[in-house]
């Protein structure tokens, strides 16, 4: 067997190995070449378990060893048992990766077989893995540590050093956003632009599941906000008392700032008389483009370089005046068409709200 050069060349030159299913390399190495690694067991090795393994006559599973350091990642009890038996070599499979990945593999291995890890050890291991692998989802870490996803989430929240990411990698290896708020907003916009689009078409465009698209459509049909309250709360906003990006924006036609509980834009988006006409759909798109939260406006203002500030201010004022003129013309036209003047216009506005 050809062995890559590494710090243990003097030892590994005596290693003989074979391929198993073309995936795992099993090699026989001198026991004296192995070193103990960082174990997830707080109480160390169990002498009773080592003695039991030493009595086993059949071959035990190979150890998992870090190829770079020759440290045992999984199998210290088996190694001690082999030493009690007076053996000189032992079979191992090699692992290549970082020390953090090696610890994760050690925990996974001890959860799946051998002497079980205690609940306290699994919790401590989970906290360590959350810090080293913050990109892994709660469910993925739950499977690796033998804990529940809810407990993993609590440990994550209580660990201050863990970075807050916008997406995580699940058990299937796919990366998914933590919140589908933006996807729900895109789905609502797509429904306004293409009323006849299928759930799957909208799902592909918005980057969410067809089931979520169906929920958005049902919410709009009921006149509800397409973003559930729990999602708004999850992204750090309080429903009805604090604006949140997307659901709080300046709506110049009505001359007001919508609160988090407002559904004006959602009701307009649901109205078939607007969605069925190209100009109506264009108007809805303009509204959606202006549907920006206060925090987003602050971020946009911070991104404007000083030498462009004057031009941006001038452009923003011109667009604001254009929207105001549009609102005044529409209000005037509505009053002229209504037989009862302001009362009819007020009733119309009341129906929209």
DSSP strands (E only) in 62-110: 63-66, 71-74, 89-95
The share of the chain scoring above pLDDT 90, in percent, equals 13
Task: Give the Cα separation of 230 and 232 in Å (integer).
Answer: 5
Token pair, residue 120, equals 């306290």
Average pLDDT, integer, range 271-285:
78
Residue 231: what pLDDT? Answer: 67
Residue 89: what pLDDT? Answer: 92
- β-strands 89-95, 175-177: how paired? unpaired
Q: Over the chain, what is the mean pLDDT?
A: 75
Highest mean pLDDT among 99-108, 175-184, 335-344: 99-108
Model confidence over 51-79: pLDDT tens digits?
Answer: 989 888 788 889 999 888 999 998 899 99
Weakest mean pLDDT among 86-90, 92-96, 198-202, 244-248: 244-248
Task: Give the Cα separation of 293 and 242 in Å (integer).
Answer: 11
Model confidence over 5-32: pLDDT tens digits?
Answer: 333 333 333 444 433 333 357 889 999 9
Residue 338: what pLDDT? Answer: 58
Residue 232: what pLDDT? Answer: 62
Q: Which helix (H) or strand (E) holds 29?
A: strand 24-30
Task: Give the Cα separation of 347 and 221 in Å (integer).
Answer: 22
Q: pLDDT-based confidence at 342, cuts 50/70/90? A: very low
């Amino acid at each position: 067997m050809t062995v890559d050069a590494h710090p243990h060349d003097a030892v590994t030159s005596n290693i003989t190995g074979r391929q198993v299913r073309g995936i795992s390399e099993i090699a026989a190495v001198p026991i004296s070449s192995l070193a103990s690694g960082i174990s997830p067991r707080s109480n160390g090795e169990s002498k009773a378990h080592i003695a039991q393994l030493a009595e086993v006559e059949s071959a035990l599973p190979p150890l998992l060893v870090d190829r770079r350091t020759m440290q045992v990642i999984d199998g210290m009890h088996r190694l001690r048992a082999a030493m009690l038996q007076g053996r000189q070599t032992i079979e191992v499979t090699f692992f290549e990766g970082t020390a953090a990945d090696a610890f994760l593999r050690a925990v996974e291995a001890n959860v799946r077989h051998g002497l079980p890890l205690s609940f306290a050890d699994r919790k401590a291991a989970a906290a360590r893995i959350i810090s080293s692998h913050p990109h892994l989802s709660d469910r993925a870490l739950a499977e690796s540590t033998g804990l529940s996803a809810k407990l993993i989430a609590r440990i994550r929240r209580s660990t201050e050093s863990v970075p807050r990411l916008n997406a995580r990698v699940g058990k299937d290896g796919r990366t998914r956003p933590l919140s589908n708020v933006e996807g729900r907003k895109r789905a609502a916009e797509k429904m306004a632009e293409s009323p006849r689009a299928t759930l799957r078409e909208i799902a592909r465009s918005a980057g969410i599941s067809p089931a979520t698209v169906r929920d958005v459509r049902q919410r709009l049909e009921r006149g509800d906000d397409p973003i559930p309250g729990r999602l708004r709360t999850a992204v750090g906003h309080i429903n009805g008392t604090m604006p949140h990006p997307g659901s709080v924006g300046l709506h110049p036609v009505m001359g007001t700032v919508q609160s988090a509980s407002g559904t004006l834009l959602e009701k307009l988006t649901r109205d078939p008389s607007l969605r069925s006409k190209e100009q109506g759909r264009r108007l809805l798109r303009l509204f959606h483009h202006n549907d920006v939260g206060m925090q987003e406006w602050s971020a946009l203002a911070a991104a404007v370089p000083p030498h462009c500030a004057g031009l941006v201010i001038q452009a923003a004022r011109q667009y604001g005046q254009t929207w105001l003129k549009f609102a005044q013309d529409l209000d005037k036209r509505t009053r002229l068409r209504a037989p009862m003047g302001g009362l009819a216009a007020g009733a119309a506005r009341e129906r929209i709200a």
